[in-house]
Structure 1
């Protein structure tokens, strides 16, 4: 039987293709899948669904559970128990994801089992309350504003005097703040509220279903993108589609970043395949969903410029690319804004300042400001705001310098430009306030199509776990619950180590240790016979 030993941790994916013996076994068993691993994740997802009825982003006035026999799940010890059970479900989901990752890295499974696993894990969460966030209630509140003639870029949902359930479930922080989302997304939210009305449960489910269009776009574009960028498709799908960031945050949340990412991945693919006008148009539409997509546009101009005949200078090719790009951007931007809002209303640009109200150490500059404030305040009584403001100003300056540098280094176009674009998106998520956990998917999804080293993927496992758990399932942050954060970091490091080596601390092996009179048996990996490599 072919060996299933994982490749050396520092080998990159080009060196991690399965051996001929592995491939022979895979082909012979191509009808099989890692059923137990997929089932483990599915059980975890179902547990998360059930526990979220008491511990998730529940409604203030729930017509189904609020006063029924299960209402105990939402109060006191019942809520604490629901939260603990939800974390158990999340642990099963992550455990299954890490196992799936080891199989993918060893070349023991192909793309199909990973996609099936991801879709199976997402399915129960389509009907769950919002997980680790309440943003979807803001989406519906702002869509209701547009539906009833209130400008979401001038008023918060509290200004509405209709649809009380929609309004009262918006987080207090966003009740009076203008919308930070693109006008096209508000049009989508308006259509959702027009269909679901005051029914918040239906509104959340319909929003999730619409956002799945972004997932469909990613599933279509990523296999083609991998061919250009040199990654391994099973690993890309494991990293971008099956990860807790996608399953829990973008689908379980849900978050409109998913819809933007679908347009972004298709746009990047179109640029690499020389459909440049389509690429600029698609990414501009993505910007009208989530403004962050605008970061990608300058990099796509370099891709276009480098696809022009090389007889001309780079400067001349750049101007030949940037001129039509600006024209396409202008037309799509103006038409999209007009169609969405009924006028050319740029108030949404000012709305981008609203998320800056969130201050926590997950955003690197804010964290540095808080650290200096804590040190100084230990000696002299001072206010925290000057420290945060100065640190954020320095962060903005560093971000601007980094973006300009990455854009200039991308001037040769091709894969280099796309890699620099992914780095720029990650930098915006980390340095521009605020940093919310799902923001890092902006860069991760594009970067997933490149070759990765195993040790770096282990880091992604740790980061993904931390970025889910630094918020409580209710949507409130846990960033200053230091004992909880310490536990999260410890669990995340264990998860990262588990990608490199099963059971890194020997916990399961010790539990399974045979009695003295028993013969030790060679432990076989769970899915040793099953998995087709379709690399």
Structure 2
């Protein structure tokens, strides 16, 4: 008897898609500026076909994820997700992306340059990577050459360790950063089901939405973003808060915030859960005390200083992409077309309104925390900040998505979050820059090719015993 493939099918489909994308990255990824080897130059001549093939692969990866969710919900044989099966599936989908150039962003080069600045005793909170100079700084886009690092001392120490261990070599440095990111993802695989149980959510559903969604292999692994470390620490901290280990929880959430500041809102979950047992004032005082003490101790131990507090405004840079900055640029162009020179006032106004909208949405979500639960409410808060704040990137959606996956009940939020993850997977070019008309057309053609491929594969079957053997 023959039947349609399940686990083996979506693992293979996603792996093929990731391989296509990794191959495309050799020609159209965030390539090193100084890569002048003859073979690399030859690959760059294939940018058009590579972009088409990359988006076809991205479509296959997204389809594989959707297939995995459908199979899990339908109870297909062998399709139930636990930590082990999720880890194997993620390895199939992310493995090929470990060995290609950075994709969808050049942030990995910024991390390496900032780590080198720490080693050289250059204040990363006062100077941009231009102060470092050299080839490593030259890999960072011009718009970020003179902006200070917006990251906390925990991540900068990790970046410095990577830079020291790899000697400033780009290929080794990117690989090492990906290994750090993989450690954060491994923590998510281990602790997200545990947090889901505390929130009354199916752990398998949490793993599918929070760990296997395309943004994780595309941005946490291929992009080597520090969100992987931040989210790993945040999830463990919130999980410990549900287990009444409030001091350790506050310390871990603070460490997450010392990677990237948005994680600090996780302290609201710790204080809210602690208040159920010790009273509100005592809970707030204890949580704040542990957070301040942890931040002070880490800042002193790293020797990097408190400049990270003042650098928190770096993401509000007017060249950052966000909904509010896009509206600001449109307003500036409109004013210019009308012959009115308003300077950057329209941009500042739109950024301010966007920040107010983010705060209003976040406040509304937290106001409903008793009905939603604190973890789900904070997930919505982080989603609002990521989508409405002064800087927006596709991987920022993971700030809220991971907690929504672990804490949101069955209903409208989960499919909306899943659809949003799919859409955001397609909005950035592998190079990390915006597309022109020809690139957009090639990307669209790649998506169509991927969809046609997925449609044709519905006709394929494999022997049931073979499928079950591979799935094991």
Q: Same fold (TM over 0.5)?
A: yes
Q: Which residue of 2 aligns with 1:105?
A: 73
Give the SS at the match of 1:471. Answer: coil
Name the counterpart of 2:108: 136
Q: Which runs of 5+ in 2 are unaligned?
A: none
Runs of 4+ in 1 over 4 A off after TM superposition: 370-384, 451-458, 480-483, 485-492, 523-532
Q: 1:54 matched to which residue of 2?
A: 27
Distance 1:406 1:455, change over 3 A: closer
- Who is 1:327 aligned against? 289
Kindly state the Cα deviation for residue 490 of structure 1 after the two structures are TM-superposed.
12
Contact 2:375 2:407 in 1 (8 A): no
- 1:300: how far off? 2.0
Correspondences of 1:50-449 after superposition (within 5 Å): 50-62=23-35, 66-75=36-45, 78-108=46-76, 109-112=79-82, 113-161=85-133, 164-308=134-278, 317-340=279-302, 342=303, 345-357=305-317, 359=319, 363-373=322-332, 379-383=338-342, 385-410=344-369, 412=370, 416-449=373-406
The answer as to 2:440 corresponding to 1:484 is yes
Deviation of 1:365 after TM superposition, in Å, equals 2.5
Q: Structure 1's 406 and 482: CA in aligned 2 closer, same or farther, altered over 3 A?
A: farther
* Deviations 1:1-23 (CA, angstroms, capped at 9, x unpaired): 9x99xxxxxxxxxxxxxxxxxxx
Structure 2 CA distance, aligned partners of 1:531 and 1:458?
Answer: 29
CA contact (8 A) 1:132 1:468 kept: no
Structure 1 CA distance for aligned equivalents of residues 317 and 430 of structure 2: 21
**TM-score of the pair, normalised by structure 2:** 0.88
Q: For 1:186 and 1:130, how far apart are their aligned partners in 2?
A: 19
Asked whether the 8 Å contact 2:270–2:287 carries over to 1, the reply is no
Q: Which one has a bigger Cα radius of gyration?
A: 1
Secondary structure, counterpart of 1:267 in structure 2:
helix
Say which SS state the counterpart of residue 115 (structure 1) adopts.
helix
Pick the structure with more helix per residue: 2
- Alpha-carbon distance in 2 for matches of 1:70, 1:376: 44
Q: Using the TM superposition, give the Cα deviation of residue 154 of structure 1 relative to its aligned residue in structure 2, in angstroms.
A: 1.0
Q: Scaled by the length of structure 1, what TM-score is found?
A: 0.78
- How many residue pairs are counted as aligned between the two chains? 463
Q: For residues 153 and 188 of structure 2, what CA distance do their matches in structure 1 show?
A: 22
**CA deviation digits over 1:73-106, x for unaligned, max 9?**
124xx22222222222212211211211211221
Whether the 8 Å contact between 1:466 and 1:488 is mirrored in structure 2 is no
- Map of 1:498 onto structure 2: none
